[in-house]
Amino acid sequence: MIKTLLLSEITDEKISQNTYELINIANEISDEVSLVILNFSDCKTLSKDFDKLYVDFIYVLTVPPLNTDKGIYNIDTFVISKFIESKNYDLILLSKTEYGSIVGPRVAFGNKKEYLSDCVAINLRENGFSITRPIYGGVANADYKIPPGISPIISFRPGLSLSSSDIKHPIIEEITFEYSCQQHVKMINEFNSMDENKIKLEDAKIIVSGGRGIGGELEFKELNKLVNLLGGALGASRAACDAGWVDHSYQIGLTGKTVSPDLYISVGISGASQHLAGCSMSRNIVAINNDKNANIFNVARFGVVGDWKSIVKSLISTIEDLNIR
Amino acid sequence: MTIQIAILAKQVLDTEIPSDQFKINENGNNLETKGNNSPIINGFDLNATEAALKLRDDGHDVNITVIMAGDGFFLDIIKKPLSMGADNLVLLQDESLVGCGSTFTVKALSSVIDKIGPFDIILAGRHASDFDNGHVPIGIAETINLPIITYASEIKIKNNHLMIKRITLNGYQIIETSFPCIITVSNEIGEPRYPNLRGIMTATKKNPKIFSFRDLGLDEQKEDLIQLERIFIPENNLNTEFITGEDESEIGRNLAIRLKEEGLI
Ligand SMILES: Cc1cc2nc3c(=O)[nH]c(=O)nc-3n(C[C@H](O)[C@H](O)[C@H](O)COP(=O)(O)OP(=O)(O)OC[C@H]3O[C@@H](n4cnc5c(N)ncnc54)[C@H](O)[C@@H]3O)c2cc1C
């Protein structure tokens, strides 16, 4: 009997999409699935969703006085470690988000457990499990063999599986923890660089993404015209962010955002594996690049070879025409 | 008082090489390049070096020790942090450190720190570009019980306190902490500086201090609990439809029409 524990994430006071994805992954390989929710806000808004979660047990861990230490995650690390101390799971899964990339290894190494990050597949073996994870930014994949009985912690790349809608009526248990460690690390301030009124990259159906080939900050404004016309969101490669043309919060890729829109229009981006790691799950990729050998064409459904400026200009005017008609 | 800074760095394959120039090595446990490309120091580790040197630029009295674990080191390449301005280079050298699991890397690096420390600040790149794990510095923090702050894009010292600008997905945070701590550094800290001639001269004269497992009382590595089974390069069989036309203006128009036909816009 395989028992799996999932560490959930809450975004905008809702159970995150990533958590639903984890639930699906877990159900395919487990007999019993438990979900941990750290309760930092009022759980009442959340609990409406509980019946939608296809799990057997939900543990709501409450830590008075309900304040988080986002970005540092001492509280999460402490509480989750305490919780798993008294339990026995075959697998502990979480998402490879900013949260997961910190809390996962902290809990694992703090409790002498094995840790694997950024997995894209897990399979049951006769004896244990096997997982697959990309390496070298996605140039290759590596398979690892996990023996039974070691209870590893594994993070999964977001965007892998769509959520199902079955209902299971989980058993819900609330547990209160006391946390009183002295804080040597303090968050003084937090700033959001994204425009709150714009569509979030993660939610956008259409993304237009620019790279080093765009050439400058002013030129990015040209690209923004296309973004606005399509009602999409703007993205960028790391080279464009590093050049200071756009804020790093627009970066897509291994160390930026992971997106999966219906349409991803990449402009002046070469298609380095680390960039593709963040966008290759897009349903349709259009690549505009003046180098016909650019790697981006290997993942593009539609390829356009040429200078982006003239192409985007005529793309914009044609779309305007088509929209009027 | 001199501030002791350690930088954890790794020698990796050059990731700027196009992805079709990589192949699986003979042992099947790592990649290698098809050409005769020399390795590099992991980019984020050079960012970490830059972060340490910026503290010196700010007027702080810092002593910077670069620590690397691995084997098959290219001396001229791993001396780059020294030529940028770091003071010492320490190597933990053993064959079994190449391609081992991160549990063992954490243990090995923790014992080096234990042996040559203590340090006030331990810096590391946010992740290594070969196995893209990013949890070794976090694992060390948990092992030697230090606070960990991730993804720094700026580090300042004021009255023995550290102020760290930390990159988040949508912006940044300002975090305050005290010595000692571990900080992982992101590329937003700025390009690593180019070594100047004097730096290069100084680096040629310096030799790394080399430790073996025996020196640290480390046992030979037992097998990783979780074992790498195979590496494979995924097949790509997407058929790209290239949009053509008389000139770029027509190509742009044809693209718009195709996207409209497909209901994508
Ligand atoms: C560990 C690690 C993590 C990384 N994480 C990320 C990440 O999260 N996201 C990311 O994006 N990168 C990441 N990178 C960097 C990545 O390897 C590439 O360096 C980067 O993606 C390159 O950006 P680019 O495609 O914009 O620039 P380039 O590779 O320089 O490509 C520019 C392209 O523009 C084309 N071009 C130039 N002029 C024109 C024109 N007038 N019209 C049309 N096309 C033109 C060129 O042909 C070229 O293909 C990471 C690297 C490492 C090592």
Whether residue A102 and residue B138 make contact (CB cut-off 8 A), yes or no, is yes
User: Which of chain B's residues have a Cβ under 8 Å away from the Cβ of A16?
Assistant: none
d(CA A276, CA A292): 17
| Cα A206 to middle of ligand 1, angstroms | 20
- By CA distance, what is B240's nearest residue in A? A301
Question: Are B77 and B171 part of one and the same domain?
Answer: yes
Q: What is the CA radius of gyration of chain B?
A: 22
Distance from CA of A24 to the nearest CA of B (A): 24
Give the torsion sign (CA, B76, B82, B87, B90): negative
- Would residue B73 count as lying in a domain? yes
Q: How far is CA A234 from the centre of its chain?
A: 18
Give the torsion sign (CA, A202, A205, A293, B24): positive
d(CA B81, CA B40): 11
Question: Are B63 and B134 part of one and the same domain?
Answer: yes
Nearest CB to A194 within list B170, B227, B228? B170
Tell me the mean pLDDT in the region B184-212: 97
Question: Are B22 and B151 part of one and the same domain?
Answer: yes
User: Which of chain B's residues have a Cβ under 8 Å away from the Cβ of A313?
Assistant: 249, 252
What pLDDT sits at residue B241?
Answer: 97
Question: Are B127 and B59 part of one and the same domain?
Answer: yes
User: Which of chain A's residues have a Cβ under 8 Å away from the Cβ of B238?
Assistant: 298-301
Residue whose CB lies within 8 A of the most ligand 1 atoms, among A238, A246, A310, A312, for a mutation test: A238
- Would residue B227 count as lying in a domain? no
Question: Are B121 and B176 part of one and the same domain?
Answer: yes
What pLDDT sits at residue A325?
Answer: 67
Tell me the mean pLDDT in the region B168-197: 96
- Would residue B80 count as lying in a domain? yes
| Cα A275 to middle of ligand 1, angstroms | 7
Judge whether residue B220 has pLDDT over 90. no
Closest CA to A223 of A209, A204, A242: A209
d(CA B34, CA B40): 16
| Cα B82 to middle of ligand 1, angstroms | 29
Query: What does A216-282 look like in DSSP terms, one character per residue?
Result: SHHHHHHHHHHHHHHT-EEEE-HHHHHTTSS-GGGBBSTTSB----SEEEEES----HHHHHHHTTS
Tell me the mean pLDDT in the region B214-231: 87
How many folded domains does chain B comprise?
Answer: 2
Tokens of A269: 């981006």
- By CA distance, what is B14's nearest residue in A? A136
Judge whether residue B161 has pLDDT over 80. yes
Paired sense of beta strands B121-125 and B3-9, if any: parallel
- Would residue B224 count as lying in a domain? no
Question: Are B20 and B100 part of one and the same domain?
Answer: yes
What pLDDT sits at residue A47?
Answer: 80
Q: Which structural domain, as residue segments, surrounds residue B263?
A: 234-265
Q: What is the pLDDT along chain A (325 residues), one digit of tens a residue?
A: 999 999 999 888 889 989 999 999 999 999 999 999 997 666 667 788 888 899 999 999 988 876 778 899 999 999 999 999 999 999 999 999 999 999 999 999 999 999 999 999 999 999 999 999 999 999 999 999 999 999 999 999 998 876 666 778 899 999 999 887 766 899 999 999 888 888 999 889 999 999 999 999 999 999 999 999 999 999 999 999 999 999 999 999 999 999 999 999 999 999 999 999 999 999 999 999 999 999 999 999 999 999 999 999 999 999 999 887 6
- Would residue B24 count as lying in a domain? yes
d(CA B193, CA B191): 6
d(CA A272, CA B16): 8
Q: Which residues contact B8 (CB under 8 A, 6 or more apart)?
A: B45, B48, B67, B68, B109, B122, B123, B124, B125, B136, B137, B140
- Would residue B263 count as lying in a domain? yes
Q: Is A281 in the pocket of ligand 1 (CB under 6 A)?
A: no
Establish if B139 touches chain A: CB-CB under 8 angstroms: yes
d(CA B101, CA B110): 15
Distance from CA of B127 to the nearest CA of A (A): 9
Nearest CB to A304 within list B163, B173, B255? B255
Establish if B160 touches chain A: CB-CB under 8 angstroms: no
Question: Are B22 and B53 part of one and the same domain?
Answer: yes
- The CATH number of the domain where B140 resides is what? 3.40.50.620
User: Which of chain A's residues have a Cβ under 8 Å away from the Cβ of B228?
Assistant: 142-144
**Three-state DSSP class for residue A131:** strand
Question: Are B16 and B82 part of one and the same domain?
Answer: yes
Question: Are B121 and B9 part of one and the same domain?
Answer: yes
Question: Are B110 and B156 part of one and the same domain?
Answer: yes
Whether residue B264 and residue A263 make contact (CB cut-off 8 A), yes or no, is yes
Total beta-carbon pairs less than 8 A apart between chain A and chain B: 251
What pLDDT sits at residue A165?
Answer: 63
- Would residue B225 count as lying in a domain? no
Tokens of B186: 């992101």
What pLDDT sits at residue B132?
Answer: 95
d(CA B72, CA B78): 11
Q: Is B129 in the pocket of ligand 1 (CB under 6 A)?
A: yes
Q: Is A312 in the pocket of ligand 1 (CB under 6 A)?
A: no
Question: Are B159 and B255 part of one and the same domain?
Answer: no
Domains of chain A, first to last = 3-176 (3.40.50.620), 201-322 (3.40.50.1220)
Q: Alpha helix locations (H) across chain A?
A: 17-29, 43-47, 74-85, 98-110, 217-230, 238-242, 273-279, 308-324
Question: Are B40 and B66 part of one and the same domain?
Answer: yes
- Supply the pTM of this predicted model: 0.96
d(CA B139, CA B145): 10
Nearest CB to A304 within list B172, B176, B243? B243
Tell me the mean pLDDT in the region B157-185: 96
The complex scores an ipTM of 0.95
User: Which of chain A's residues have a Cβ under 8 Å away from the Cβ of B242?
Assistant: 302-305
What pLDDT sits at residue A44?
Answer: 67
Residue % of chain B over a pLDDT of 90: 89
What pLDDT sits at residue A69?
Answer: 87
Residue B10: HSE in the Cβ half-sphere, 13 Å Cα cutoff: 26
d(CA B112, CA B149): 21
Residue B192: how many other CB atoms lie within 10 Å: 21
- Would residue B58 count as lying in a domain? yes
d(CA B100, CA B218): 15
Residue whose CB lies within 8 A of the most ligand 1 atoms, among A251, A274, A276, for a mutation test: A274
| Cα A296 to middle of ligand 1, angstroms | 10
Q: Whose CA is nearest to atom 31 of ligand 1?
A: A270
DSSP-assigned beta bridge partners for residue A115: A153
DSSP-assigned beta bridge partners for residue A132: A121, A143
Q: What are phi and psi of A71, to 5 degrees?
A: 95, -30
